[in-house]
Structure 1
């Protein structure tokens, strides 16, 4: 197996772009991380006492040196400057640093940066070409404006928690910070578009994203149906729900030795391939949604009678969309996963961390890196000393 080579830093698409990352936790830092992967020089601007709060956000009690493992992975390949934005001298140095920047990202609550004197209107006066990215929980207007923009809370308010689990179950949140990560990706898109616009016009831009809008955009398929239909929350399937709009057999089923996922497939096809006579009353395609729970109930009883591999040997050659359900230990050892080259090592000797690699390749080369996250203020003298 030949793994992809990492692209040299000087050849990456954003080489020469300077990004100031004032953000904390996940959404803003994940945007800055991707910009760093693509070659930008990213400088975290952190408060001297404690820095980014994510430094102390431990997941499964895992640490890397003095900081959390989570901080180390999402802030890899960045630099750190410590500055108290309430201190006049530090603020002056930060403003000078902003003059040298191409992009600036923050996720302070609405109004905070304006009170400090670092709102878009203020900084655009001395750096009119700056691309200024803002992450908020719920935008800058409305009654939710000042509420905490936190992933679980956004999942709750957006209706997303009512899409997972079976009908009759309590609301089920997605098991990861999906709104945070997606919002960071949306900010990357906006920043890249603004940099392209600046290349032609010389003008900077204000790019605003918020977790709530990103959560709703993620639900565009289901929410569009709601907006143009009965205006009621969609009904989850009572049996093996996997998509509130999905027809049978869409779901995950227990087998004799594990689980199998089965996606969009004609019931008549399954009837023949699985030799399941109990599906005969449901082969009419118009019944796949109306009778999805009875159809799924039949499959629940049938698929548990044989191992996963047996069903895959029947279904995959026939072109049925299906897959074994893996846990991470199985996934990591799978040759197909290894071929993706999706894991990299970062950090210094004695503090090496295995983590996900940037999923983007350019001209067949990875945007990988070996540099871990910076210690708090590690580069303050370097960058402030050049001002």
Structure 2
């Protein structure tokens, strides 16, 4: 494993996270140069190692695990045993940050809760990511992406009018919680630079979910009315939605009145500009069904590619509705290097989705592929803690590592 580089070089994270929210957070830190020591349960490891199929071809690694665990060193430790807890304490003497996503109070049973550690490690930044945060009536509950999407309101907004509520196609509640956790850690690092003090970061998935209700949340606060499900239409702009074309579908995004005027004048709809119901965006939002009915035959007159070429020439927002095959074949996605090839310990080359943060001086660092279980136990325990091969072998014999 090559040495870290990047803006977070020199920071070391003890990673007690698993599944998605926590690993998303720590992978971002690792991509930016932090050293990540991922603690996994002996024999089984992170739950997502078993979230398969699919496995990466000709390996025993799940695609799910590979997606959020690059730039990490896997060390197996059974934290339920006193000797395992002692190892965690020895590692903490060399770490700046502890990240975890156990249920509230679970780590305290092993003497590894924040209140138990802060006196001994006053500079420690301790980030907890849970379903509902450390306080409040729901704090003891486990958190899962789908139920957070349900309880956080996004499902009530997603789906066709009159249809059933729908969750997003990817686990957005987990992902946002992980990214907010990363932001909190970076803020705490800056605070520690100024004061020398660590602190506890309390990330609740429901909190982060409520935080990104964005314009829809504000629409409710402004009116006291629950926003309806609008399918692919925008609650505040029209037309801003999908339309059928001659050979598929297209997203048309008309963001303001001058753009709508430009659309109408170029595609045989100039008469609409004299119709009060189409005159302004608020009018079009109030008459969104009429807008859809009126423009649908127009949009069906061309193929998707014809529309994209014509609309882009007029600087009118549009885009095809891509499958994932289309996404990864897209020339812009390729030009932005959004897929990275890495050499895995299995001997196979794997592909992972790249970090989207483009830094001119300190770009993300792809120094090591997601590890196989326990791949770095000897190198970390021996190199960082100075343990002998015999000592590590004895711990392995007991099932501690």
Larger CA deviation: 16-25 vs 69-78:
69-78
Partner of 2:279: 284
Quote the offset at 1:64 in angstroms.
Answer: 6.6
Matched, 1:270 2:263: yes
From 205, 213, 218, the equivalent of 1:211 is 205
Partner of 2:97: 103
Partner of 1:5: none
Q: Secondary structure at the match of 2:347?
A: coil
From 368, 373, 378, the equivalent of 2:375 is 378
Distance 1:381 1:336, change over 3 A: closer
Larger CA deviation: 365-374 vs 69-78:
365-374
The 8 Å contact of residues 6 and 365 in structure 2, kept in 1 or not, is answered as: no
From 278, 289, 292, the equivalent of 1:296 is 292
Distance 1:368 1:256, change over 3 A: farther
Distance 1:213 1:332, change over 3 A: same
Matched, 1:241 2:232: yes
The 8 Å contact of residues 268 and 284 in structure 1, kept in 2 or not, is answered as: no
Quote the offset at 1:129 in angstroms.
Answer: 0.4
Distance of 2:381 and 2:249 partners within structure 1: 56
Larger CA deviation: 101-110 vs 86-95:
86-95
Q: Which runs of 5+ in 2 are unaligned?
A: 387-401
Partner of 1:359: 356
Partner of 2:392: none
Distance of 1:373 and 1:327 partners within structure 2: 26
The 8 Å contact of residues 7 and 362 in structure 2, kept in 1 or not, is answered as: no
Q: Secondary structure at the match of 1:332?
A: helix
**Which deviations, in whole Å up to 9, do the C-alpha atoms of 1:317-370 show, x marking residues without a partner?**
222122222223233333222211111012336322111111123225641415
Matched, 1:70 2:64: yes
TM-score (norm 2): 0.88
From 322, 328, 331, the equivalent of 1:332 is 328
The 8 Å contact of residues 279 and 295 in structure 1, kept in 2 or not, is answered as: no
**Which deviations, in whole Å up to 9, do the C-alpha atoms of 1:272-321 show, x marking residues without a partner?**
22213674533321411110111112222221121123323332222212
Partner of 1:4: none
Distance of 1:84 and 1:333 partners within structure 2: 43
Distance of 1:150 and 1:177 partners within structure 2: 9
Q: Secondary structure at the match of 2:378?
A: helix
The 8 Å contact of residues 137 and 145 in structure 1, kept in 2 or not, is answered as: yes
Distance 1:93 1:60, change over 3 A: closer
Q: Secondary structure at the match of 1:371?
A: coil
Partner of 1:171: 165
Partner of 1:318: 314
What number of residue pairs does the alignment pair up? 376
The 8 Å contact of residues 252 and 261 in structure 1, kept in 2 or not, is answered as: yes
The 8 Å contact of residues 341 and 350 in structure 2, kept in 1 or not, is answered as: yes
The 8 Å contact of residues 188 and 199 in structure 2, kept in 1 or not, is answered as: yes
Distance of 2:372 and 2:300 partners within structure 1: 52
Q: Secondary structure at the match of 2:29?
A: helix
Matched, 1:255 2:249: no
Partner of 1:186: 180
Q: Secondary structure at the match of 2:341?
A: strand
Give the aligned CA root-mean-square deviation in angstroms. 2.0
**Which deviations, in whole Å up to 9, do the C-alpha atoms of 1:24-57 show, x marking residues without a partner?**
1001011110111011110011111311111111
The 8 Å contact of residues 183 and 211 in structure 1, kept in 2 or not, is answered as: yes
Q: Secondary structure at the match of 1:362?
A: coil
Partner of 1:35: 29
Distance of 1:236 and 1:89 partners within structure 2: 53
TM-score (norm 1): 0.91
Matched, 1:198 2:207: no
Distance of 1:131 and 1:63 partners within structure 2: 38
Distance of 1:234 and 1:35 partners within structure 2: 36
Distance of 1:172 and 1:89 partners within structure 2: 46
